[in-house]
Amino acid sequence: MTVHRQRVRITPLAAQTLIWAGAAGVTGLWWSDTTSVVGTAGWLTGAGRITGLLAGYSCAVLLALMARVPAVDRGVGTDRLARWHAAGGRYTVGLALAHTLLIILGYSRTTRSGLVHQTTTLVLDYPEMLKGTIGFLLLVATGVISARAARRRLGYETWHYLHWATYLAVFLAFGHQLADGADFVGNQKAQLAWYALYLGVAALLLWYRFILPVRRGLRHRLRVAGVRPEAPGVVSVYLTGEGLDQLAAEPGQFFRWRFLTRGLWWTANPYSLSAPARPDLLRITVKAAGTHSAAVARLAPGTRVWAEGPYGAFTAAARRGERKTLLLGGGVGITPLRALFETLPGEVTLLYRARRAEDLALRGELEAIAAARGARVHYAVDGPAGQAVPLTARSLQRLVPDLAEHEVYLCGPPGMTEAALRALRRAGVPGRRIHHESFAF
């Protein structure tokens, strides 16, 4: 029996409103405790206080964005949440740096002491400050490794585990906020509100990042049923289990997969479903692009699997109205599009780009689906013998004459998707009708 659930979704506007309302509340706390500001030292210290409060609040928001709450993930979308998290990380590090420098300068002016002496006094003599300093340094270090230039040099697994330092940084800095923050000392209501904020976020993280995946792993008992080659370096992994319909996975969504075998058990990587979920079967299609994905091709039948998810808003629910749909995919980006191609209602056109004809994974399935539903499939292959379709507005309009009236689902490598986004906008497709799934981390 298929389980149907009423799925709650929190819209991007609602999520942003909640975040900014919290920031306004934090600013109000600072304002209510600031009776007057006198002199340069007072202005520096006051600025240090508000940047510190906002940095502490931003830390809680950052962790909440990492909690993978289904209602937020489905409504906002994993891609957009990732962008918010990256931008929020930059703001948080900037606020923490400003707070540190402003407080040191303000206190130094007040006590008429040197910057080095004042810094030493703060770190070594103030309660919880040494731990807070370590947390601050960890936060800055995490921000550095998250910068795009540094990220390109790291594999997904390495980057993912280094990112766990964020949790430790926030834990170490929390005590300092309550012990030394002028807005919390002697203000029990503010302390309780801060505890409620952080404990609430901790509960979300504990449930959705740890307890729920373990429960589902024990309940659904996923195992690898088989591995099938699809193209050079590309394989499909078939997974069986119990009550998989209860996961309520939609075409276009992905899971984070943890294969409980040597060399793979310690990390969970994101792979999209490449076919609609069945009550007894799930399928993913993976390209060997790194150590983890290359090892997936060697999985033995019977290997136990834990799956976190489903995640993502790259689904039929993203469509606005009953417009025609263009699915535009490149490389292994065809995986979520293949599932959508089978299930999206209405008139659907698929454009699949690859370097070589032999790299067109799942081609037989795509053609069978197109024949069954009367849809169109176009292939664009690079090279002298290929039929390349340049990603320009003119070429896409020739292929799809009424392109501006379409909803577009786009998934592929970063260079391809950036070019496609520019072409689609120039062709008159509004940004709100372009739904994008990214491989970037």
pLDDT tens per residue across span 99-114: 999 999 999 999 999 9
pLDDT tens profile 142-192: 888 776 655 666 666 666 667 778 888 999 999 999 998 888 988 999 999
Q: What mean pLDDT do residues 412-436 have?
A: 90
Q: What mean pLDDT do residues 19-27 have?
A: 94
CA atoms 351, 357, 363, 367: torsion sign: positive
Higher pLDDT, 348 or 217: 348
Residues 390 and 155: their CA atoms lie apart, in Å, by 30
What local confidence, expressed as pLDDT, does residue 2 receive?
Answer: 39
Centroid of chain to Cα 402: 33
Statement: residue 6 has pLDDT above 80: no
3-state secondary structure of 240: strand
Asked if residues 269 and 284 have their Cβ atoms less than 8 Å apart, the reply is no
Supply the mean pLDDT for the chain. Answer: 88
Q: Phi and psi (nearest 5°) for 250?
A: -100, 150
Residue with tokens 């990256």: 86
Q: Phi and psi (nearest 5°) for 73?
A: -60, -45
Asked if residues 306 and 222 have their Cβ atoms less than 8 Å apart, the reply is yes
Statement: residue 1 has pLDDT above 50: no
Q: What is the pTM assigned to this prediction?
A: 0.81
Provide CB contacts within 8 A for 267, sequence distance 6+. 157, 160, 161, 258, 292
pLDDT tens profile 58-74: 999 999 998 889 888 88
3-state secondary structure of 406: strand
Count the alpha carbons within 13 Å of 136 in the hemisphere toward its beta carbon: 21
Statement: residue 3 has pLDDT above 60: no
Q: What mean pLDDT do residues 35-57 have?
A: 90
Q: What mean pLDDT do residues 338-346 have?
A: 93
What local confidence, expressed as pLDDT, does residue 313 receive?
Answer: 87
C-alpha dist (Å) from residue 98 to 109, 113, 127, 138, 439: 16, 20, 21, 16, 33
Residues 30 and 18: their CA atoms lie apart, in Å, by 19
Statement: residue 263 has pLDDT above 60: yes
What local confidence, expressed as pLDDT, does residue 290 receive?
Answer: 72
Q: What mean pLDDT do residues 311-339 have?
A: 88
Higher pLDDT, 161 or 82: 82
Assess whether the previous peptide bond of 414 is cis (omega < 30° from 0): no
Q: Which amino acid is at 295?
A: A
Residues 282 and 285: their CA atoms lie apart, in Å, by 10
What local confidence, expressed as pLDDT, does residue 165 receive?
Answer: 82
Q: What mean pLDDT do residues 219-248 have?
A: 93
Percent of the chain with pLDDT over 90: 53
Residue 5: band (very low, low, confident or very high) from pLDDT cuts 50, 70, 90: very low
